[in-house]
Copies of this chain bind each other. A is one copy, B any other.
């Protein structure tokens, strides 16, 4: 297999055959809070539709307080098939009790009805998945949501490829839409995989397929990701492939260490590429996995790069831990330490705070066994500030040339064993605080 058995192409969720998408504006946020403005009427309702039944897989937040749409999806994804996804931004439909669940179900029903009346073949409401992001604890303004869904269905009929508008409609504090697509060959047929995602704050996903907590707990904004492919693949294998990709991408990012109530990744595979159905034994499964790994990782990185207030993207690479759990705990302690994150903000190659965070993590280590180094992404040249617990004589200015870059890698070696882990993180800036403190005189400024 080639290292990259796929090529990047333009587009996102409508790049694969048989998918349509659209985004509409229905003013969910302003009505949810009763005040404030929605500048420029930013789209806030997205529809993604497959023209035939698709296999489906998903991963969901492991937060015990999980939103109504997450509960709905966990149950429906188990059925293994879906036709459409409806998503709103501006309101998370979280902590909204039974009304929330009824509203999530109603979103699916309205979508199914709207699509049917727009001339598509009959869709069961059970084949519609739902996602929400935005303010917590406020009931969805359902009259608006209904208008938005009808409008999106109308737009979808008028022009099937408005994926860019769907990518805009799922944004909250994101400053730009996040889209990607790739193309690859499966058994002589050309297949495609595309995706959109959002997420800027309340970001440290720790998702599992059922919302049950995985062995490696990760305590981590709402991120939503919707993937489509025209590859032919069964739901079970699709779920296994998604689990593997999410573990290496979305579950390895942190912006602020707060795991959301709404984190959701969904993938629909409609088989329109016409390849022989991928099974666990297909040689081509590795190609699909590589494409999925690439798409999820690139989307995950876009979330951190566009994280609330983030001015620097730091990849924490932790090596030499005794166990996988130790590696994960040590990398997350560093990636989430306020003092480490503020030092990154200043471009300061401060190893003291890093050592301090490692020391209070649950990972086994000895001070005299720790290396700390820095490199620019893609460069093999690591400059070490600390070797075996002792400061090196690498000049402070040379280290700063790396740590003042927009992106750099932080290498930590514990010399305790062979386990490693990596976390994609960002710095903590005044802009993050300013954005999230909001303004109580303008409740629409108050986040989820």
Contact = CB atoms under 8 A, between A and B. Distances in A.
A217 B360 CA distance: 10
Interface string A341-362: 0110111101111011111101
A210 interface: no
Given A339-B201, A345-B437, A433-B433, A64 B261 contact: no
Contacts of A282: none
A1 to B, nearest CB: 38
Interface stretch (A105-113, A231-239, A252-260, A288-296): A252-260
A277 interface: no
A390 to B, nearest CB: 6
A356 B428 contact: no
Contacts of A337: 257-258
A389 B258 contact: no
Contacts of A345: 433, 437
A432 B105 CA distance: 44
A48 to B, nearest CB: 26
A97 B350 CA distance: 17
Contacts of A353: 136, 202, 258, 447-448
Given A346-B437, A355-B136, A433-B433, A447 B367 contact: no
B356 A390 contact: no
Contact of A434 (B348, B356, B389, B430): B430
A36 interface: no
Interface stretch (A3-11, A145-153, A176-184, A438-446): A438-446
A383 B27 CA distance: 31
A95 B342 contact: no
A44 to B, nearest CB: 18
Label chain A's interface by main secondary structure: loop
Contact of A440 (B62, B364, B404): B404
Contacts of A364: 64
A359 B261 contact: yes
A343 B448 CA distance: 10
A257 B201 CA distance: 19
A431 to B, nearest CB: 9
Interface residues on A, range: 35 or more
A352 B437 contact: no
Contacts of A65: 355-356, 358-359, 365, 367
Contacts of A446: 343, 346, 348, 350
Interface in A352-401: 352-353, 355-360, 362, 364-368, 386, 389-391, 396, 400
A63 interface: yes
A357 B62 CA distance: 12
A303 to B, nearest CB: 16
B434 A202 contact: no
Interface string A169-180: 000000000000
A155 interface: no
Contacts of A342: 432-433, 436-437
A327 to B, nearest CB: 15
Interface of A: 62-66, 92, 94-95, 97, 135-137, 201-202, 206, 217, 219-220, 256-261, 337-339, 342-343, 345-348, 350-353, 355-360, 362, 364-368, 386, 389-391, 396, 400, 404, 428-430, 432-434, 436-440, 443, 446-448
Given A64-B367, A136-B356, 6 more contacts: A95-B367, A97-B389, A258-B338, A261-B355, A342-B437, A347-B440
